[in-house]
Structures are given as structure tokens and as C-alpha cells.
Amino acid sequence: MDKFIKMTAIVAPMDRANVDTDAIIPKQFLKSIKRSGFGPNLFDEWRYEDVGEPGQDCSNRPLRKDFVLNQPRYQGAKILLARENFGCGSSREHAPWALKDYGFDVVIAPSFADIFFNNSFKNGILPIVLDDKTVDDLFKEVFAEEGYQLTVDLEAQKLVKPNGDSIDFEVDSFRRHCLLNGLDDIGLTLQHEDEIKAYEANRKKNAPWLFGA
Amino acid sequence: MSGKTLYDKLWDAHVVRQEEDGTALIYIDRQLLHEVTSPQAFEGLRLAHRKPWRVDANLATPDHNVPTTDLSGGVDSIVDPISRIQVQTLGMNTKEFGITEFGMGDPRQGIVHVVGPEEGATLPGMTVVCGDSHTATHGALGALAHGIGTSEVEHVMATQCLIQKKMKNMLIKVDGELQPGVGPKDVVLAVIGVIGTAGGNGCAIEFGGQVFRDMSIEGRMTVCNMAIEAGARVGLVAVDEKTIDYVKGRPFAPKEDQWEAAVAAWQDLKSDDDAVFDKVIEIDGSKIEPQVSWGTSPEMVLDVNGKVPNPANESDPVKAGGIERALKYMGLEADMPVSEIPVDYVFIGSCTNSRIEDLRAAAEVLKGKKVASTVEQALAVPGSGLVKMQAEKEGLDKIFIEAGFEWRNPGCSMCLAMNADKLPSGKHCASTSNRNFEGRQGAGGRTHLVSPQMAAAAAVAGHFVDVRDYL
């Protein structure tokens, strides 16, 4: 996984609550057995006029002009600003894969669904939780100013606005460490192999019916 | 010191190590696999030259992509080449790594959350994971069951552990007695209506109170299944005699020589009387009415005798906007009675409501009746091959067929339409599934979540009706 330290980018506003993973990446695209290539189908039903199919060339499909990511001012956005309970619904990791493949590295919202939140970190996306008022203010600023950019500094745990004002954010220290260093969870866990084996031996003794068969 | 909740006990029993910030490695006793969220995990193992930590902890079955029509050709009967490759890939991966798979054509194949409990592969006191958010279903047996992403599927295969922080404890207590015609699905939809789709975020929900004690194990599965629709990754019900009776004799359940020890270990799988919950919600079960969802989020749910909301009555602009968007998508008018919503399609199935008791409940309503002529298609899709066989033994298939339903083979089917069973754009579907998101059952499709009995009654009437008038 690539390291995530600091970045500056255009912010795209997704101004609706409870954006679900079926909307982020519709079911027909889950048939892929790969992790990549989901970007063109991110928000497929909201983004295109027609119904998308897997494996299709999306470059000539008719776009819904009013959809936020189709507006010229948000091209190149790497930060998605969202409302409460972003990423609710299914556990499909295809949702963060699609966001990442499209180019998003950060999602800011007042709250996230638990599984999506977890899945994001594992794919180098930083989900940032800010209070309702701060998110609301950011929406107003993004709408008001074309080309609005934020700097996300994970090391300092700060967002910096175009006018220089900054907003502190919280992030789990373990997740922060993994993102800053681009660490792979499995490698980290296997450093504790002996402890897992010891736990397992004990469990086998106390609950032998859970083993074998 | 106060006592422990059921979640506390399950958590404590599975912690392998815990960091100072609370991040823990918890040991996983069972991983269930299906074709959609596992291929990239197997590929990851292969690329890193890793092997599964414990092959026998895994069990696989294809469900999302399998056709529900003729299966006699096995995997080759899947017409869509991309779906076929995904199902074939699960077969090849499980074979390569030595994992047991109930493949297409095996009578034990079915929806992973129906198969696990049916086989005794998910047991009280276990930690269970699956790359599917409806894994909370298995909490009905007093197991700690998490829906996880694909990276976590790979992590559990490689290490037998999940990296997790402890969640908060939430108790949803529903006391009283349910009215006749009101079932587990109505209870959980009513709960989501009260707490909202984010109400359980960050929590493990325990369902307690008389209503859940009185409920069958399959009913508890319906309730725990939809914990995720209330935002919670985990739903739980305490173990009681019903749980133990349910598990006894199932193929993967403890055998004679270990049975007594297992039952003794399961006795403590309930919250202590003095356990403290971070959040408690109390609901009077006797007041719950049959439920119908009207909008595009499971929290947009109404009593069957209610009226569709009006955005003009909502002061929060984000919520009012949500109602307006949902009305438009669903093709409904503000303030219209639920009973005036037409039903074009009916789907009885999914990991929420495809077990034998669900099919019996629907058949009871359908017996001797016909699906309304305005209903374009009515599907009954059993949750597994074994559920299907049992239903046929009881003659339920004949009741469905005589009423005008199509009697299908097991799979996820029109719950999420990854196979050929799709809801056409603009059509209203009375569905026993779990999600009414935009496009969930097919692009442009309009889903209304209901219980199996309510779906059956709607099929007969051609619009939503109070099932209590049909019993």
C-alpha cells in the first residue's frame, strides 16, 4: 500500500445523507474477480444516463450533467465531502476500491458506516469525521468558491483551508501509523504468530468441538 | 464491578492480544466464504505466497450469482459469462486451498447465512466472519458474527484473526406480546424506523426482552440479519434452550462425546443481570403493526395503515431533501396511504426471509388464493437446497405454484439481482429482502420491504394490505 502523508486537492461535495454502497458501486460490477478498474463505474447510476454493464467502455456513455462529479469545476477532485452515514449498506470493498480508482484519497463526513470506514483505511483512503457544523460550513465554502482545495496533513492531523485556517481531526493511532508507513495488516499481525498459536492451543483444549471436521 | 454483557463475554473470550489504544486481535472460529467477496482475497494470498492459517475453519458456498432456474447443467448453466467465472473461481480457489465448498448441484448449497446455521457450522460462542454485511444473522445463535470487507477476508484466512476495536453495547428491549400477523420482520423494521439506519453505528446490538425470548431461532435470525440496516455490524440474542435444541444433531454440531461439554460452556452466553449497556432502547412489542417500507432507506418505513410522509412537514433540510428524492425515485405522492401503493412484483426469499418458517408463513396466507392478475411476476426462492427439499416434503411448493408463484432454486436472487432475477425499472416490488436502496433489485426498481406474510397478502391483493385481514 502507498504511504499517505500529506496532500492538497480539489474537494467535491456529495450533498446527501446515507449514501449507500449500492450507489457507490452498483451490484453488476461486483462480478469482477480483480481489485482494480472500478473507477469508471463509481456512482454509475447517478453518473450516467444509461444502465452500465461490466466490461463496457465508459468513455462514450451519456453523462447526467447535473451530477456533481460530471461538473467541470470538480474535475481532478481527490477529496470527497459527504453527509452523515456515508458508505452504509453492504460490506463490499468494491466501494473503497471504486473511490480510490477514481482518484479519491480522502472522504470527509459527519459519520461513516462502520464496515466502509474500516475498509477505507485498508485501501489507503483516509475517512475523516468532523462535526455537523464544520461539515456544513465546508459545504458552503465549496459551493461558493470554484476550485476550492483543502490540504490534508495526516502527520499533523490537520485540514488546512485556502485562507490558511486549519481544522484538527482525530484518527485512530494504529490506523494513522499504518497509513503513514504504508503498512500491510497481515504482515503486522503475523509478527504475533506465537501469541495466536498459544491462544489457539488453549481454545482447542477448552472447546475441541470447534476444530476438525 | 458491574456484570458483563453477552457481547463483553464473547469479546473477552476471543482476544488474542490488545494494544494500549484498544486495537485488538480477536480469534475467528469460523469464516464463511462466497463467490463475490473472496476472489481478491485468495489472489492476495497467492501473490504473497501465504496459505490459510486453518483450512477447517472455512466453509464456502456460491449464492449471489447462482441462477434460480434450471441448475441441471451445474456451473455451466450460468448464462452470464462474468457471473460464471466468479462462481468457477470460488470452486477453483477452494479446491486449491483445500476448503470445503457446497457447490452448485450440492443439496447443501444455498445462501451462506442460511447454510451456516442449518449445517451447525455456526455455533453459540463462536466468532463468525464473512465478507457480507448480513453476517450478523449468526448472532441469533449467541455467536459474535461480523460482516467484513475483502481485505479482512484475506487477513482472517492468513492469520485466523481480525483486527478490531471493541464496540459499544446497545440493548434493544422489546417486551410484551406481538399481535397475530406481526412477525420478526415487522419487529426489526419497526426498530430501524425508531433508531434509524445509523442508530447502531459503532455498536453491537443485543436484542432482549420477551418478544425475542418468545421468538423462534429462525425469527431471531431475521432480526439479527438486519442489525446492519440499523448501522450495527453485530446483532445478538442470548442463548437459551431453544438455541441448544436448534443446534443439536446438525452435521457440524458437536458430536455425542463433546455435546455435554459444549452445552455446559454455552449456558453462560447471556448478559448478566447487572450488565451495563451504553445505550438502551425500549419498545412495546404489543404496539408493533405490520410494516412496509416506502422509500429508499430501510428507516423509511411505515405501519401498513400509515401514510407516505410529506417533506413539507420535515424541518431538517437534509432530511426533507432525502424524502423528496425518495418520493421521486419511488414514484409516490406525499401523504398517500400505503395501501394505495400498487405491487407489480413479489419476491419471497433472501438471507432475511427464505427459511422454512418464512415459506410456511407465506404459504399459510396463499393457500387456496391466487396472485392478482396485475402482478407481473411472483417469485418464491428458498434459502438453500435443504430448505427447498423440506418445503416440498410439506407440499408448500404446490401452494406457491397453485397461487401463481414461480418456485425457484436457492440463491440470493432478486434481493440484489446479481443473477438474472431483476426488478425492471419503475416497477414496485413487495420484497422480503433487507435493502430498499435505489437500484438494489435492478436499476430503477422500487423496493418495498415487508414480511413473508405481508408479501403474500400483497401478491393476492395487487397492492399493500394488512395481512391481519387475510388470516
Query: Residues B71, B77: contact at Cβ < 8 Å?
Result: yes
Q: What is the pLDDT of residue B72?
A: 80
Other CB atoms within 10 A of residue B130 CB? 30
Separation of alpha carbons B230 and A18, rounded Å = 12
Q: B155–A186: do the CB atoms touch at under 8 Å?
A: yes
Residue B471: its pLDDT value, please? 86
Closest CA to B109 of B463, B368, B409: B409
Chain B environment of A123 (Cβ under 8 Å): 151
Chain A residue numbers touching B82 (CB-CB < 8 A): 31-32, 54-55
Determine whether B258 is exposed, middle or buried from the number of CB atoms within 10 Å of its CB (0-12, 13-18, 19+): middle
Q: Give contacts of A96 with chain B, Cβ < 8 Å.
A: 149
Helix (H, G, I), strand (E, B) or coil at A77: coil
Interchain contact, A118 vs B435, CB within 8 Å: no
Whether pLDDT at A9 is above 90? yes
Q: Are B109 and B384 in contact (CB under 8 A)?
A: yes
A146-175: average pLDDT: 97
pLDDT at A213 over 60: no
Interior angle at CA A12, CA A7 and CA A15, nearest 5: 135
Predicted confidence at residue B379, as pLDDT, reads: 98
Within 8 A by CB and 6+ apart from A38, the residues are: A25, A29, A32, A94, A97, A98, A101, A102
* Chain A contact set for B27 (CB, 8 A): 196, 199-200, 203
HEC secondary structure over B308-333? CCCHHHCCCHHHHHHHHHHHHHHCCC
> How far is B343 from B333, CA to CA, in rounded Å?
16
All three cell numbers of B247, joined, read 443446534
Contact between B43 and A54 using a beta-carbon 8 Å cutoff: no
Check: CB of residue A48 under 8 Å from CB of residue A117: no
Reply yes or no on whether the pLDDT at A170 is more than 60.
yes
Q: Is B125 on the interface with A (CB under 8 A)?
A: yes
Q: Which are the contacts of B75, defined by CB distance < 8 A and separation ≥ 6?
A: B84, B87, B88, B91, B103, B104
3-state SS record for B34-89: CCCCCHHHHHHHHHCCCCCCCHHHEEECCCCCCCCCCCCCHHHHCCCHHHHHHHHH
Q: Cβ contact (<8 Å) for B80 and A31?
A: yes
B201, B268, B323, best to mutate vs chain A, most A CBs in 10 Å: B201
Nearest to B151 among A119, A208, A210 (CB): A119
Residue in chain A closest to B123 (alpha carbons) equals A210
> Phi and psi dihedrals of B101, rounded to 5?
-130, 135
Tell me which residue has cell 464544520: A134
A82-135 confidence digits (pLDDT tens): 999 999 999 999 999 999 999 999 999 999 999 999 999 999 999 999 999 999
Q: Which residue has the higher pLDDT, A213 or B450?
A: B450
- Beta-carbon contacts of residue B12 (< 8 Å; ≥ 6 apart): B4
- Chains A, B: CB contacts within 8 A come to 190
Chain A: nearest CA to B416, how far in angstroms?
7
- Portion 173-232 of B in contact with A at CB < 8 A: 197-198, 201-202, 228, 231-232
CA–CA separation, B83 vs B272, rounded Å? Answer: 47
Q: Which 127-186 residues of chain A touch chain B by CB within 8 A?
A: 172-174, 185-186
Q: Are B109 and B6 in contact (CB under 8 A)?
A: no
Residue B110 C-alpha, separation from nearest chain A C-alpha, in angstroms: 18
CB contact under 8 A, B149 and A115: yes
Question: A152 vs chain B: nearest CA distance in angstroms?
Answer: 23
pLDDT of residue B255: 93
User: Scanning every residue of chain B, which has its alpha carbon at the shortest distance from the alpha carbon of A30?
Assistant: B36
B235 backbone φψ class: left, alpha, beta (φ>0; ψ -120 to 50): beta
Alpha carbon distances (Å) from B17 to A26, A195, B21, B84, B204: 37, 8, 12, 41, 20
Which stretches of chain B score pLDDT less than 50?
none
Q: Using the beta-carbon criterion (under 8 Å), do A31 and B86 form an inter-chain contact?
A: yes
Q: Does A84 touch chain B (CB under 8 A)?
A: yes
Residue A165 has pLDDT above 90, yes or no: yes
B410-to-B65, B121, B174, B220, B382 alpha-carbon distances in Å: 11, 19, 32, 21, 5
Cα–Cα separations (whole angstroms), residue B251 to B114, B116, B117, B387: 14, 11, 10, 15
Question: Using a CB-CB distance cutoff of 8 angstroms, which residues of chain A are in contact with residue B31?
Answer: none
